[in-house]
């Protein structure tokens, strides 16, 4: 979900122009249009859909883009990376239920999962372990079939489980969104489309503008590096580490925050208790985010 940074605007302008003008190229109309000047180009940009970026990555949704840039600012923006499960929301176990349903449907295996941790890990790592646990393989296209099956079960599981947005989250996001020096992103072990399904279910999806996801990495630290890379692309240069913030609910969230040099705010609303989080030494630790003004006040 990489988006063009400020100095890539030329790419967007050029691609948008070609998207519209391409069919007329053979007739020489492009050359004439090119001489009409910036006013015409501006009109073309308004009526032409935004192009796919050349790196082949599309945004989480078409509506997502960075709401603000560093251009003209004396201080860089604060980039906040939110974990999903146990931090923003509780799915009520919908993710695991959908995963188990997909294993049953694709592989015919369904005995209860024991001894495999889900919290703080990537979906890629979890499903790799579950394949070993069940004695099945993702070879020959089975991974793709499994992921599609999981994503099919997930909305139904979310609808039937007792999930919720966690305390203080709506207020915290509202405060941070209202500020002109903060950009909100995701740093989650979920498959990208799983993250989208969960956030849409709780009407949180459009609040986030970039992210790292758990589709391909076994190690959450690599997901953090992906998210950091996106933020760096947007910023156009290295972001001072005091402007990076990871918010998560497990020691793995703290660890991946350290991997990118971020400040870490831990919250004991998910996979770990306060006692389990303390040894990982987050910069700040909350029982929950009901003290949302205090949490927001730390950022900045
Ligand atoms: Mg979590």
Distance (angstroms) between ligand 1 centre and the Cα of 117 equals: 12
Is 158 in contact with 198 (CB distance < 8 Å)?
yes
Structure tokens at 245: 């913030």
Cα(33)–Cα(213) distance, integer angstroms? 42
Distance (angstroms) between ligand 1 centre and the Cα of 79 equals: 18
What's the pLDDT score for residue 76? 78
* Mean pLDDT score of the chain: 82
Distance (angstroms) between ligand 1 centre and the Cα of 74 equals: 34
Distance (angstroms) between ligand 1 centre and the Cα of 15 equals: 38
Distance (angstroms) between ligand 1 centre and the Cα of 274 equals: 14
pLDDT per residue as tens digits for the range 162-215: 999 999 999 999 999 999 999 999 999 999 999 999 999 999 999 998 899 999
Distance (angstroms) between ligand 1 centre and the Cα of 133 equals: 22
Q: Does 137 score more than 60 pLDDT?
A: yes
Mean pLDDT of 59-74: 53
Cα(91)–Cα(238) distance, integer angstroms? 35
Cα(56)–Cα(200) distance, integer angstroms? 24
Q: Does 24 score more than 90 pLDDT?
A: no
What's the pLDDT score for residue 72? 58
Distance (angstroms) between ligand 1 centre and the Cα of 68 equals: 27
Q: Does 17 score more than 60 pLDDT?
A: no
For residue 71, the surrounding DSSP H or E stretch is: none
For residue 293, the surrounding DSSP H or E stretch is: helix 292-298
Per the model's pLDDT, the better-predicted residue between 192 and 74 turns out to be 192
Per the model's pLDDT, the better-predicted residue between 11 and 251 turns out to be 251
Distance (angstroms) between ligand 1 centre and the Cα of 188 equals: 7
Residues 6+ apart with CB under 8 A from 152: 102
Is 189 in contact with 215 (CB distance < 8 Å)?
no
Q: How many residues are present in the chain?
A: 300
Cα(101)–Cα(153) distance, integer angstroms? 7
Q: Does 125 score more than 90 pLDDT?
A: yes
What's the pLDDT score for residue 251? 97
Structure tokens at 236: 């156009």
Distance (angstroms) between ligand 1 centre and the Cα of 245 equals: 15
Distance (angstroms) between ligand 1 centre and the Cα of 120 equals: 5
How many CA atoms are closer than 13 Å to the CA of 270, on its beta-carbon side? 31
Distance (angstroms) between ligand 1 centre and the Cα of 94 equals: 14
Residues 6+ apart with CB under 8 A from 175: 292, 293, 296
What's the pLDDT score for residue 209? 87
What's the pLDDT score for residue 73? 63
Distance (angstroms) between ligand 1 centre and the Cα of 270 equals: 6
Mean pLDDT of 130-154: 95
The listed range with the strongest mean pLDDT (12-21, 72-81, 172-181, 226-235) is 172-181
Q: Does 29 score more than 50 pLDDT?
A: no
Distance (angstroms) between ligand 1 centre and the Cα of 271 equals: 6
Q: Does 269 score more than 50 pLDDT?
A: yes
Provide, rounded to the nearest whole percent, the portion of the chain with pLDDT above 90.
68
Distance (angstroms) between ligand 1 centre and the Cα of 28 equals: 56
What's the pLDDT score for residue 236? 85
CB atoms within 10 A of CB 287: 12
Phi, psi angles (nearest 5°) of residue 266: -100, 150
Confidence of residue 271 (pLDDT cuts 50, 70, 90): confident
pLDDT per residue as tens digits for the range 219-238: 999 999 999 999 998 888 89
Please give the C-alpha separations between residue 74 and each of 56, 70, 71, 77, 192, in angstroms, as whole numbers.
32, 8, 9, 10, 34
């Amino acid at each position: 979900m990489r988006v063009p940074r400020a100095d890539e605007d030329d790419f967007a302008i050029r691609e948008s122009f070609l998207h519209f003008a391409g069919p007329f190229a053979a007739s020489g109309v492009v050359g004439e249009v090119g001489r009409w000047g910036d006013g015409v180009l501006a009109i073309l940009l308004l009526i032409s859909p935004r192009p796919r970026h050349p790196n082949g990555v599309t945004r989480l949704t078409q509506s997502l883009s960075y709401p603000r840039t560093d251009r003209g600012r004396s201080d860089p923006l604060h980039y906040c990376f939110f974990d999903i499960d146990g931090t923003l929301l509780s799915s009520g176990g919908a993710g695991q239920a959908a995963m188990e349903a997909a294993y049953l449907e694709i592989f015919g295996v369904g005995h209860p999962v024991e001894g495999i941790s889900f919290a703080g890990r990537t979906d890629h790592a979890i499903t790799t372990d579950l394949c070993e646990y069940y004695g099945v393989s993702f070879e020959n296209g089975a991974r793709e079939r499994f992921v599609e099956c999981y994503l099919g079960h997930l909305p139904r599981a979310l609808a039937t489980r007792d999930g919720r947005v966690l305390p203080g989250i709506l207020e915290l996001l509202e405060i941070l969104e209202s500020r002109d020096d903060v950009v909100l992103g995701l740093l989650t072990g979920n498959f990208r489309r799983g993250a989208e399904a969960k956030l849409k279910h709780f009407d949180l999806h459009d609040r986030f503008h970039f992210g790292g996801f758990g589709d391909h990495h076994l190690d959450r630290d690599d997901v953090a590096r992906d998210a950091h890379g996106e933020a760096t692309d947007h910023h156009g240069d290295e972001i001072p580490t005091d402007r990076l913030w990871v918010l998560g609910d497990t020691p793995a969230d703290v660890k991946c925050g350290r991997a990118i040099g971020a400040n870490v705010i831990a919250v004991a609303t998910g996979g770990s208790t306060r006692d389990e989080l303390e040894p990982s030494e987050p910069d700040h630790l909350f029982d929950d985010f009901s003290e949302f003004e205090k949490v927001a006040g730390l950022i900045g």
